[in-house]
Amino acid sequence: MNNSVLKGSLLVALGASSYGMLTTFVKMAYAEGYTSYEITFSQMLLGLIGLIILNLIFVKEKQSYIEQTKTKSILKLMAAGTSLGLTSIFYYFAVKYIPVSIGIVLLMQSVWISVLLESIITKKKPGLNKILAVIVILIGTVLATNILIDAVELDWRGIGWGLLAAVSYTITIYTSNTVALHLHSFRRSLWMMLGGTIIIAIISAPFLLEQFNLEIFKKWGLLLALFGTILPPILFTSGMPKINVGLGAIISSVELPVAVILAYLLLGEVINIYQWTGIIIIIVSVILMNMSKLFKRKK
């Protein structure tokens, strides 16, 4: 592995790990009495401010940018960003009722949901490797969520919100890779974040007017924005071009064990052998799904 690929792999791994840390921080914020709306709104707003600063520093606008950035493209990105905002609030609702280790597994269902979405949009049957990967993911999910253990009682509100988060996350991934690709990645992230912030502000407004502790901004909002909306774009856009798509997808799956391990260390969540087996199976399925891309030369 040459230095460029190694550096790219490390950057992508750090970006995925940043996402994996989020839910544990959210749980800790819940323990201090902050609401889902306070947590999500502070993260989105501070993330938006962070992306504005990044754009001002790193994105040098050329004359052609004004011609390329038409209102239609901006509106499409903002509309796509609503799924980004909804993913956050659905996911944070989910971990209010279920452990982080199960919440992250539910979010990972976006892997097979994306296969389904792709087949519907392209009207093409998925390949055998993808079908096998989906089956493996479902088997891993059964183990990782502990539903085979009679003593375990899962709150179905958490399961429902977690699956909604997975669907919304799938839409976010799809639109991130299809909408206004002619723009700089930071610029696209900015407009999507603006759309996400607006939808979260609309949803949260009635609740924030009744209760809004400004301490959330300096206590947890900045931390969540840093690891959820500021660092990942920098790390992914820097690392992904150095490696191919298959390797990137495989390395990104590190988000799952990072989330589980952090929940174990900081929250004291107990992870049994069945859950670890399920988590490993899900990661293997991601590798299986991307094997065909793994050995392709980066163009």
pLDDT tens, position by position, 167-190: 988 888 777 767 777 777 788 888
**Is 241 within 8 Å of 3 (Cβ atoms)?**
no
| pLDDT at site 199 | 94
Tell which wins on pLDDT, 287 or 147: 287
Q: How confident is the model at residue 298 (pLDDT cuts 50, 70, 90)?
A: very low
pLDDT tens, position by position, 232-256: 877 876 776 677 655 666 677 788 8
Does the pLDDT of residue 67 top 80, yes or no? no
| pLDDT at site 257 | 85
Average pLDDT, the chain: 81
Secondary structure element (H or E) that encloses residue 142, with its range: helix 128-144
| pLDDT at site 23 | 87
Lowest mean pLDDT, pick from 112-116, 237-241, 270-274: 237-241
Percentage of the chain modeled with pLDDT above 90: 22
pLDDT tens, position by position, 126-140: 777 778 877 888 888
Q: How confident is the model at residue 299 (pLDDT cuts 50, 70, 90)?
A: very low
Percentage of the chain modeled with pLDDT above 70: 86
| pLDDT at site 152 | 57
Tell which wins on pLDDT, 191 or 240: 191
Helical H segments across 32-99, by residue range: 36-58, 63-68, 71-97
Give whole-number Cα distances, 23 to 5, 228, 237, in Å: 29, 10, 23
| pLDDT at site 34 | 92
| pLDDT at site 119 | 82
| pLDDT at site 63 | 44
- The C-alpha atoms of residue 239 and residue 4 are separated, in whole angstroms, by 9
| pLDDT at site 143 | 79
Interior/surface letters 183-219, b for 16+ CB within 10 angstroms, e for the rest: bbbbbbbbbbbbbbbbbbbebbeeebeeebeeebbee
Q: How confident is the model at residue 277 (pLDDT cuts 50, 70, 90)?
A: confident
Does the pLDDT of residue 88 top 70, yes or no? yes
| pLDDT at site 177 | 67
Does the pLDDT of residue 292 top 70, yes or no? no
| pLDDT at site 276 | 86
- The C-alpha atoms of residue 65 and residue 234 are separated, in whole angstroms, by 21
Q: How far is CA 268 from the centre of its chain?
A: 23
Highest average pLDDT, of 9-18, 147-156, 204-213, comes from 204-213
Tell me which residue of 13, 31, 35, 23 sits closest to 88, measured CA to CA. 23
Q: What is the pTM of this model?
A: 0.82
Q: How many CA atoms lie within 13 A of 262 on its CB side?
A: 20
Lowest mean pLDDT, pick from 60-69, 241-250, 265-274: 60-69
Tell which wins on pLDDT, 160 or 64: 160
pLDDT tens, position by position, 20-33: 888 899 999 999 99
